[in-house]
A and B are shown apart, each in its own frame.
Chain A
Amino acid sequence: MEMQFFLSLICGIFIGGIAGYLGSLMLSKRMALVAGPLGHLTLPGIALALIYGFDISLGAFPFVILGIFLIWLFEIRTKLPMEALTAIVFSSGVSIAFLFLPIEQAEEALIGDISKVSFGDTIILVLSCFLIFLIIKKIYSKMILINISEDLAKAQGIDIKKYNFIYLFLIAIIVALGVKLVGGLLTAALVAIPACTARNLSKNLSQYRFYALLFGSISCFFGILLFEITKFPAGPLIILTSTFFFLISLIFKK
């Protein structure tokens, strides 16, 4: 097996897994789609990264943070629904990106390119995914309680602001990692679809978390495998594989 392909596969499996895992929290908070606008919003950052030749995730990350900050700020100032605000923020992001994104690199920005990761990248990525996994695991049950009812969580003495902050920060990191894999356009699917599949199949929370992680990982595995065989871009193949598992899950829906 070719080394480059092997590295892409490892990156995919790890990013897909934690994206699915975090997605299971986002779905329960009805926030799965927030990753979409945030992904779009990374495009100016990706454009900068492509022009100046640094890592896409590094370019994307500050823009996600900026996006989350703006959405939060607008929500406090206007009381408009969050979807409306994210629409404003993300379309602006896309527009800005296309002002200066070199058109020949647009594909990589929009649908990702995992086929060029280096050995060093892979090591850093695997370690950070592992760290993020541990953090998600630690906050998981508290986040679930917050998702069920902020009042109940507060009455239990949970510091909601702190946990929401950690949670949003994790979303920002995952989106930044996700754009590397599937690009700015498809990141929402990376977090949303495995969680939907998992929900169809699970009777309880531990199954749900596990399946979300599992389907996130195996979608990336098969997606990248298909990319190696067909040479179609990996990003869309990953998402389509994920959708395929979702459709299959409908048959077994519990």
Chain B
Amino acid sequence: MTEVILKVKNLNVELNGEKILENLSFEVKEGEVLTILGPNGAGKTVLLKTLLKLLPYKGEIEWKSGIKIGYVPQRLPFIKDIPMSVKEFFKLKNASENEAKSILKLIGLEEKILEKKIGDLSSGQFQRILVGWALVSNPQVLLFDEPMAGIDIGGQESIYQLLEKLRKEKNLTILLVTHDLSIVYNFANNCLCLNKKILCYGIPKKLTSELLSQLYGGEIKFYQHFH
């Protein structure tokens, strides 16, 4: 149960000459829910993309061998430009109709949504579909970038309940990027506070207010602006 599935050591990422991530080291164990917390521009999304090996990096990223990773991106701004049914969206990942149906069941959506156009879904439904899409071909790990962006509070809660359910039923390990402190307290069992460097790393109850003000620092106003 406590096998380490991801080891990151001295990770450095530089994009267009700017240092985005500096000397990150951490580990993720199987079944863990790690939230990655930090202000805008802290490098949270970059960290996820680097873990997926989508960006160049220095240092070590070591996933347990043969592990399958599902990725739920922050936004897909162009998807609504394309007339596409939910069924076709699943097909892009070579999911069979049966697999798509069983995933829908898992994420609490009805089968008839398969024929619906992606552009006609509510943001909550769309978010669930994205989670479902990441679940195609049974990943052991889910990387989740700002799952709550643009979803109302009711919708947010049910997305967390969904993640919690998935974690229990499928023994998923979840890495979750977020702004939202309540997630850290209610849902996560480990937390990494990031602002280019790691500012804290530990279980949520150890998150003190000093650490948070250090994390958000002068940007706290900007941060509050978004909530």
Residues of chain A within 8 A (CB-CB) of B78 are: 28-30, 147-149
Contact yes or no, B54 A202, CB < 8 A:
no
B: residues with CB less than 8 A from A are: 49, 52, 54, 69, 71, 73, 76, 78-79, 81-85, 87-88, 91-93, 115, 117
Q: Is the CB of B49 within 8 A of A205?
A: no
Min C-beta distance of A104 to chain B, whole Å: 43
Query: Is residue A84 contacting chain B, with contact meaning CB distance below 8 A?
Result: no
Asked if residues B83 and A204 are in contact (CB atoms below 8 Å), the reply is: yes
Looking at the complex, which one of B54, B85, B91, B92 makes contact with A155 (CB distance below 8 Å)? B54
User: B residues within 8 A CB of A141?
Assistant: 91-92
Say whether A230 faces chain B, with CB atoms less than 8 Å apart: no
Query: Given the complex of chains A and B, what is the CA–CA distance between A155 and B55 in angstroms?
Result: 11
Q: Is A78 an interface position by the 8 A CB rule?
A: no
Q: Is the CB of B81 within 8 A of A205?
A: no
Residues of A within 8 A of B (CB): 27-30, 141, 144-145, 147-149, 151-152, 154-156, 199, 202-208
Q: Is there contact, CB below 8 Å, between A144 and B73?
A: no
Closest chain B residue to A142, Cβ basis = B92
Smallest CB separation, A207 vs chain B (Å): 7
Given contacts A155-B54, A205-B88, contact A149 B83 (CB under 8 A): no
Are B91 and A152 closer than 8 Å at their CB atoms? no
Whether A203 and B117, one on each chain, are in contact in the complex, defined by CB atoms closer than 8 angstroms, is yes
CA distance A207 to B87 in the complex (A): 13
CB-CB < 8 A to B69: which residues of A? 155
A147 partner, pick from B71, B82, B85, beta carbons under 8 A: B82
Contact B71 A144 (CB under 8 A): no
- Of B52, B54, B83, the contact of A205 (CB 8 Å cutoff): B83
